[in-house]
Amino acid sequence: QEMYLTRKSFAFNADNPGMMEQDRKVFESALSTADATFQNLDSSEISLTDVSHYFDSDPTKVVSKLRKDGKKPNSYIADTTTANAQVRSLSETVRLDSRTKMLNPKWYEGMLSHGYEGVRELSKRLVNTMGWSATADAVDNWVYEEANETFIKDKEMQERLMNLNPHSFRKMVGTLLEVHGRGYWETSDENLERLMELYQQVEDRIEGVE
């Protein structure tokens, strides 16, 4: 939130034409009256969890913090990737993105056909999903639960990911632990114990510990 306010509080000054100057107080004042946040999704190839840019630019929690009533603004994403443009809520768009990519067997199997790099892509997408929890609380609990079911609880998939790219698989396990630690995911003690044990197993494999 601090980074968002610091980096985005520049504006042109009518008293000094052509020059941008930082005026954080004015920026914060404007945000404190916002009832909605909005971003435009303009590429069919780059979705909300493909890159960090989208959640980096999301001010949902920033606005909530600045508003005197602490109210969370309504957050929207405009999908203009086709002629049939649609505006959806942010949480709906994150759900759609999760279903069509990270949790979609056709998508993740396509990624895993690339081996090492495919696991790295999965890991990156999970981190970017967590980003939406951090900036907007926009990720439903079931998204993380299904990610855990698909990539961790399934023993065959677990071994596959570990063998293809142990470093990125360790990152996935660590990300799920972080998601829970930050309070974004409620899950069973059994799942958490499995994740902690698995993290140590992958760590030992990477370090060459028998």
Per-residue pLDDT band at 156 (split at 50, 70, 90): very high
Name the residue with tokens 């895993």. Answer: 112
Contact residues for 8 (Cβ-Cβ < 8 A; gap 6+): 27
Q: Say if residues 194 and 180 touch (Cβ distance below 8 Å).
A: no
Q: What is the H or E stretch that residue 132 is in?
A: helix 116-136
Name the residue with tokens 């030992």. Answer: 204
> What mean pLDDT, rounded, does the chain reach?
93
**Mean pLDDT value across residues 122-136:** 97
Predicted local distance difference test score (pLDDT) of residue 144: 98
Predicted local distance difference test score (pLDDT) of residue 209: 67
The answer, as to whether pTM is greater than 0.85, is yes
> What whole-number distance in Å separates Cα of residue 85 and Cα of residue 99?
20
Least confident of 82-91, 120-129, 171-180: 82-91
Predicted local distance difference test score (pLDDT) of residue 132: 97
Least confident of 6-15, 133-142, 165-174, 179-188: 6-15
Predicted local distance difference test score (pLDDT) of residue 210: 57
Residue 66 has pLDDT above 90, yes or no: yes
Neighbour count for residue 52 (Cβ, 10 Å): 12
**Mean pLDDT value across residues 44-70:** 92
